[in-house]
């Protein structure tokens, strides 16, 4: 990479004047491009035209994937798919975090060269993304060449702004968490199995070791006021808002300059500091920049800086990595006058018997096995329906199976089955009947159950959309399933199988047709809205209902938006029960 040197004294806000492009050498056109980029970012104009951009954390490759990782992935995927459903171009990035002491040690332990170790383990996460139906636009790896170039360039810009200095660093380092902890956050612990006493982080309980070394520091304290100002102006930047307090507290009371490199003799597996090959860039700085790499940083075309998605609309993260994303990351971005992500969704953890899943405790659930056992849609459904944002959720096969039986098999599957399968009526005729009358509201006015269902269906799309904007996918999913449950109630109350016995009674015919229509309309709208949550089962359901491919958008999830469905794209004689949610084995 060719680096043009400018005096840092020339001012911190001039990075955009540099005609520099990593790997590609000097590029004059970038001067204009970056000035334009800077100007655009200086405005408060919301990024309306850009693609929606959502990210997952990138996963450490030192251990195999578990359901906690799958949860981050599925949350991000549901957010992306929801945007696509509403017609917006959306991007999703997931991937692996491959550098750092933790991975270096894990590779050494297996006596495998680090790159090979990373290749093998990154493949496991990529496989999980496929099996979990994650619609990602890139599986990024921090060993990717364009990422390395982006990190080097980022470093260079920080240095040119005078925000990096070299000094001695002494402190408690936790390899497992890949960070230093202040003295006040260290405590003595005893290993319950070996009885061994060790020093650990009060936050994570992971072992720390005393380190003294020379390294580079990022002048994070210089950003303190800007950070606090940003939090004050954006109180709902972190979801849930309750986590904002701990972030503000950290910045107010614990902010210190960040050590951002390690001597090569301690950490060789990483990106070298540009211009100083005795030091390796700190893994968290390296990792966080992946979000920019995906968005094309720093090769942004003038006027199209946001085409790659930056600033991200949502970073999905677990609550354990809040500080990195809500303090270090905005500080680094503010340092370069880059726009900050619009929101951070920090979810709670999956536990096993109320203890956090961890490799060392051996209580992790393998998501690949779980997907094979329950099916990918049922797993995704369970994770979103039962997964926590504020509170941790205990992973439990009985709960999973209970939800499957009650909501999917007995709820959605049963509703589909009882309406579609009966030989006593034709749903197509019921839809045609309602279409012909053209007065749904008036016709159901006198019937509380039916008019309630119409009202619920009319507000379902907008309300689910509001929840997704929070973002709160679990609340959106609960709403969708409630409306489905109400339709089952409607069918039980109206008893179409009895109404169908009186074809010469106009009132009964009317009631029959409206009951069937509302059940079908519920299934159609619910089916459309479930696509982001259960992509393959929702598609199957819409096939069963005969909803054409081009009428499966959010705009079609409205009462009366489609009257052309009702003839299943289904093999004759095959029941919805068999196809949609078959019985599963309850082994425990």
Give me the residues that bind ligand MSP (CB under 6 A), please.
Answer: 57-60, 68-69, 71-72, 97, 287-288, 290, 317-318, 320-321, 349-350, 356-357
Structural contact between residues 172 and 186, judged by C-beta atoms closer than 8 angstroms: yes
- State the minimum distance, in angstroms, from the CB of residue 153 to ligand MSP: 17
Cβ-based nearer residue to ligand MSP, 34 or 290:
290
- State the minimum distance, in angstroms, from the CB of residue 284 to ligand MSP: 7
Cβ-based nearer residue to ligand MSP, 348 or 512:
348
- State the minimum distance, in angstroms, from the CB of residue 224 to ligand MSP: 22
Cβ-based nearer residue to ligand MSP, 387 or 546:
387
Which residue of this chain has its Cβ atom nearest to ligand MSP in the complex?
318
Nearest to 76 by CA among 125, 132, 141, 124: 132
Q: Is the dihedral of CA 39, 41, 45, 49 positive or negative?
A: positive
Q: Is it true that the peptide bond before 268 is cis, omega within 30 degrees of 0?
A: no
- State the minimum distance, in angstroms, from the CB of residue 17 to ligand MSP: 29
Six token digits for residue 425: 């009526």
- State the minimum distance, in angstroms, from the CB of residue 102 to ligand MSP: 9
| DSSP string across 172-208 | EEETTTTEEE-GGGEEEEE-TTT--EEEEETTT--B-
Which long-range contacts does 352-360 make (Cβ < 8 Å, 24+ apart)?
352/394, 352/395, 353/394, 354/392, 354/394, 356/392, 357/66, 357/67, 357/68, 357/395, 359/63
Cβ-based nearer residue to ligand MSP, 352 or 481:
352
Structural contact between residues 280 and 273, judged by C-beta atoms closer than 8 angstroms: yes
The torsion angles phi and psi of 263, rounded to 5 degrees, stand at -60, 140
- State the minimum distance, in angstroms, from the CB of residue 370 to ligand MSP: 13
Burial class, 384, CB count within 10 angstroms (exposed 0-12 / middle 13-18 / buried 19+): buried
First to last CA, the chain: 56
Cβ-based nearer residue to ligand MSP, 57 or 527:
57
Cβ-based nearer residue to ligand MSP, 94 or 531:
94
- State the minimum distance, in angstroms, from the CB of residue 448 to ligand MSP: 43
Cβ-based nearer residue to ligand MSP, 33 or 72:
72
Give 551's contacts (C-beta < 8 A, 6+ positions apart): 561, 562, 564, 565
Cβ-based nearer residue to ligand MSP, 149 or 317:
317
The torsion angles phi and psi of 441, rounded to 5 degrees, stand at -55, -50
The torsion angles phi and psi of 513, rounded to 5 degrees, stand at -65, -40
CA pair distance 290, 55, nearest whole angstrom: 10
- State the minimum distance, in angstroms, from the CB of residue 357 to ligand MSP: 4
């Amino acid at each position: 990479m060719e680096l043009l040197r400018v005096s840092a004294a020339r001012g911190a806000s001039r990075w955009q004047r540099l005609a520099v492009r990593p790997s590609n050498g000097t590029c004059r056109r970038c001067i204009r491009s970056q000035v334009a980029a800077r100007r655009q970012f200086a405005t408060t104009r919301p990024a309306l035209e850009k693609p929606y951009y959502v990210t997952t954390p990138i996963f450490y490759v030192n251990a195999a994937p578990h359901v906690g990782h799958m949860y981050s992935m599925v949350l991000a995927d549901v957010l992306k798919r929801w945007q696509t459903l509403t017609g917006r171009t959306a991007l999703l990035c997931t991937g692996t975090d491959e550098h750092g002491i933790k991975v270096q040690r894990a590779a050494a332990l297996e006596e495998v060269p680090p790159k090979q170790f990373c290749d093998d383990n990154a493949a496991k996460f990529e496989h999980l993304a496929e099996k979990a139906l994650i619609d990602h636009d890139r599986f990024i790896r921090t060993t990717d060449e364009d990422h390395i170039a982006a990190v080097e360039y980022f470093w260079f810009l920080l240095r040119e702004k005078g925000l990096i200095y070299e000094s001695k660093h002494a402190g408690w380092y936790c390899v497992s968490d890949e960070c230093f902890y202040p003295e006040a956050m260290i405590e003595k612990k005893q290993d319950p199995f070996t009885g061994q006493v060790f020093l650990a982080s009060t936050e994570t309980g992971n072992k720390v070791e005393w380190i003294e070394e020379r390294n580079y520091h990022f002048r994070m304290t210089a950003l303190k006021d800007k950070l606090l100002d940003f939090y004050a102006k954006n109180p709902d930047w972190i979801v849930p808002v309750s986590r904002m307090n701990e972030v503000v507290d950290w910045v107010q009371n614990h902010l210190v300059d960040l050590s951002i490199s390690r001597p090569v003799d301690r950490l060789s597996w990483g990106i070298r500091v540009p211009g100083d090959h005795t030091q390796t860039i700190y893994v968290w700085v390296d990792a966080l920049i992946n979000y920019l790499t995906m968005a094309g940083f720093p090769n942004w075309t003038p006027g199209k800086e946001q085409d790659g998605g930056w600033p991200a609309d949502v970073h999905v993260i677990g609550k354990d990595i809040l500080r990195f994303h809500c303090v270090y990351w905005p500080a680094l971005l503010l340092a370069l006058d880059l726009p900050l992500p619009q929101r951070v969704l920090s979810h709670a953890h999956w536990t096993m018997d109320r203890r956090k899943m961890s490799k060392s405790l051996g209580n992790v659930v393998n998501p690949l096995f779980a997907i094979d056992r329950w099916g990918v849609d049922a797993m995704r459904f369970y994770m979103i329906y039962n997964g926590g944002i504020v509170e941790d959720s205990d992973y439990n096969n009985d709960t999973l199976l209970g939800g499957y039986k009650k909501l999917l098999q007995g709820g959605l599957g049963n509703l589909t089955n009882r309406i579609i399968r009966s030989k006593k009526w034709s749903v197509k005729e019921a839809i045609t009947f309602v279409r012909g009358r053209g007065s749904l509201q008036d016709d159901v006015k006198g019937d509380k159950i039916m008019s309630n269902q119409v009202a619920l269906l009319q507000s379902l799309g907008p309300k689910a959309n509001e929840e997704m904007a929070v973002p709160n996918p679990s609340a959106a999913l609960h709403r969708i399933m409630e409306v489905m449950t109400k339709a089952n109630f409607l069918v039980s109350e109206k008893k179409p199988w009895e109404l169908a016995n009186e074809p010469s009674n106009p009132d009964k015919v009317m009631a029959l047709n409206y009951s069937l229509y509302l059940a079908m309309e519920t299934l159609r709208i619910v089916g459309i809205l479930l696509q982001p949550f259960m992509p393959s089962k929702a598609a199957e359901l819409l096939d069963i209902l005969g909803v054409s491919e081009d009428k499966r958008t959010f705009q079609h999830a409205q009462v009366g938006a489609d009257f052309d469905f009702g003839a299943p794209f289904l093999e004759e004689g095959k029941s919805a029960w068999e196809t949609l949610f078959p019985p599963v084995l309850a082994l425990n």
